[in-house]
A and B are shown apart, each in its own frame.
Chain A
Amino acid sequence: MSRPRSPLTGWAFLAPYAIAVAVLVAVPVLLNVGYAFTDHTGLTRDPQFVGLANVRRLLDDRFLLDSLEASLFHVALAVPVRFLAAVGLGLLLAAPRPGGRWFRTAVYLPTVIPDVALAVLFLWVLNPLYGPLNQFLGLFGHAGYNWLADPTTARIGVVLMLAFPIGEGFIVVLAARRLLDGRLYEAAALEGCGPFGQLRRLTLPLLAPVLVLLAVRDIILTLQVNFVPAYVLTDGRPANATLYLPVYIFDQVFEFSGFAYGSLVTILLMLITAVIITGLLIAVRRWRVLR
């Protein structure tokens, strides 16, 4: 005989997490919204309400436009690249094969390397004189690029670096693929469905819920994790090409004592994230990706 559990038991288990979310997430979010309409510098204790002054500044801010362009370029390139890499490698390495575990380890390894260390490594990879990437291009007769000195190649350089730490998405795809019933593939094979047909008609539709979730997660992540590479590789340069929103927010808040303005840009970043994700979900619904 087990005694019926009190509903309080569930709340008690939830409490530590709920308190942490309230104190570390909800309260800062609300404070952030409040600070966005003040003159708070981060250094004084008595921020004053300034109405829409920060909003007017935001609409007039040409650096912010650069930052927005850099972030949108980054998300448009990095999300598909990371997504395709994670899904492609996950599906490729899901089946048991000789040496498979070594390949899987190799794919996951960059994820456990600290961002700063990876960025320093990419300083070497992208070095125009002795970097392996230019040497590789040299094999095909290409003169190579001055990667971090040109606005476009600098942005591509950051995307290249972030194309490697894809371990979490990779693991999720790997696990989800392994959960699919092998009989379905046998039934499809009996119907004459080859490997690409199986990928198109079975694997991708069956994984769709997981893939949509991964895409949403990667959009959120990608808009934020470019901070470290941008700071280490390019420091927002050249010509503000890598002045991504997180870098711009950091600069405003901690370099220029513009805590209030930085808070407002944070809200903008959140809104942009929400708009992109909403667009994705509308596309998913329209294309009937999910049942």
Chain B
Amino acid sequence: MNEPRGTIRLAALTRSYGRTTAVDGVDLDVSAGELITLVGPSGSGKSTILRLIAGLDRPDGGRVLVDGADVAGVPPHRRAVAMVFQDYALFPHLTVLSNLTFGLRVRRVRRAEADRRARAAADRLGIGDLLDRYPDQMSGGQRQRVALARALLRDPSVYLLDEPLASLDAPLRFATRADLLALHRELRTTTIHVTHDQHEAMTLGDRVVVLADGRVRQVGPPQQVYDEPADTFVAGFLGSPPMNLVPGGGVLGGDPALTLGVRPEDLTRDDAGPITATVEAVEALGSEAILLTRCPDRTRLIVRTGPRPGVAPGDEVRLRADRLHQFDAATGRRR
């Protein structure tokens, strides 16, 4: 007890739906003021964890502690958490102003005071001129800001953001990501952000939590998780293109007990390099290029190079692996 406002602790948290275990014994500590990102593929349990913290779902086992207090049996609105849903869950029959004052009115805040607070939150997020609009009269970005303003009005200990950028197009997502970070720096309120987008995971969080099959695979600062993935799943999931993983070592140096991995940017074209490969495809991305290559033993290696690599499909290249990652071939764990 007596933990600072905004700490969250998940202890052996478990939730199953029928035979499917969505969350499988998750332990996690989130410090006050931290921005943490839960990342994983679809069905990895990210959103379920948010729902369990919010109280929208009940765990089969384990505990959720908010500000040091076990919140089992505490209804969602008494948990000091605010949630932004992926599709924003704005009330379609209400104007933006009514959407923002909805919770305040439910909590019996007088209309004038509720309006004043709603207008202040809307101004803060730059949607002060949209208060008379209905959700279907706004763009995705504007709706997202309304959802954020609604969360802001709860003045919570913890923000729970369930893929809030997923419905936005790429340029808007980029801009909104920066806005989210700025807002977090300003508020310093604990935030748990769920995403399946590794760019978001890498750029937004103080720490990133990689989930798969309802289990935490690795927790750490984004760069550390990227540089030292705990297992082959994390190695393959974080990074685009993903890490090249070669069971038994193969062209990267044979050891049957190991799976060797190398990031595409750690493969360098070198005429004296030990690896020979044939270019199968070249993806020119403007600022860089991706070479899809195939070794004589059919191992496929992805290479990240600078722009205009000067090779074409069918060309032979020689490669050098600068930084190898070693994983146990049987367990997939990092060695």
Contact = CB atoms under 8 A, between A and B. Distances in A.
B102 A188 contact: yes
Interface in B74-110: 75-78, 81-83, 85, 87, 89-93, 102-103, 106-107
B56 A189 contact: yes
A46 interface: no
B107 A192 contact: yes
A206 interface: yes
A191 B98 CA distance: 13
A291 to B, nearest CB: 6
A186 interface: yes
A101 interface: no
Nearest to A180: B92
B121 to A, nearest CB: 14
A189 B57 CA distance: 12
Contact of B85 (A186, A189, A192, A208): A186
Given A191-B103, A192-B77, A192-B106, A183 B92 contact: no
A239 interface: no
Interface residues of A, number: 18
A197 B89 CA distance: 17
A187 B153 CA distance: 13
Nearest to B81: A190
Interface string A183-227: 110111111110001000110011010000000000000000000
A190 B76 contact: yes
A181 interface: yes
Contacts of A189: 56, 75-77
Interface residues of B, number: 23
B54 interface: yes
Contact of A205 (B56, B78, B93, B103): B93
B233 interface: no
Given A181-B89, A189-B76, A201 B102 contact: yes
B106 to A, nearest CB: 5
B93 A190 contact: no
Nearest to A202: B91
Nearest to A191: B103
A187 B85 contact: yes
A279 to B, nearest CB: 24
Nearest to A204: B93
A190 B106 CA distance: 11
A190 B151 CA distance: 10
A176 to B, nearest CB: 13
Interface string B269-284: 0000000000000000
Contacts of B107: 191-192
B76 A184 contact: no
B102 A190 contact: no
Interface string B203-233: 0000000000000000000000000000000
Q: Which of B76, B82, B87, B90 lies at the interface centre, i.e. has the most chain A CB atoms within 10 A of its CB?
A: B76
B117 to A, nearest CB: 14
A232 to B, nearest CB: 44
Given A189-B77, A197-B106, A206 B92 contact: yes
A190 B82 contact: yes
A191 B93 CA distance: 17
Nearest to A197: B106
A181 B89 CA distance: 8
A291 B77 contact: no
Interface in B34-93: 54, 56, 75-78, 81-83, 85, 87, 89-93
Interface in B13-48: none
Given A191-B77, A192-B107, A197-B106, A186 B93 contact: no
A181 B93 CA distance: 13
Given A183-B85, A291-B134, A191 B56 contact: no
Interface string A160-191: 00000000000000000000010110111111
23 contacts: A183-B87, A184-B91, A184-B92, A186-B56, A186-B76, A186-B83, A187-B83, A187-B150, A188-B91, A188-B102, A190-B56, A190-B77, A191-B103, A191-B154, A192-B78, A192-B106, A193-B77, A193-B102, A193-B103, A197-B106, A202-B91, A206-B92, A206-B93
Interface of B: 54, 56, 75-78, 81-83, 85, 87, 89-93, 102-103, 106-107, 134, 150, 154
Given A183-B85, A187-B91, A190-B154, 13 more contacts: A186-B83, A186-B85, A189-B56, A189-B76, A190-B77, A190-B83, A190-B103, A191-B103, A191-B106, A191-B154, A193-B102, A197-B106, A205-B93
The 3 closest A-B pairs by CB, nearest first: A191-B103, A192-B77, A183-B89
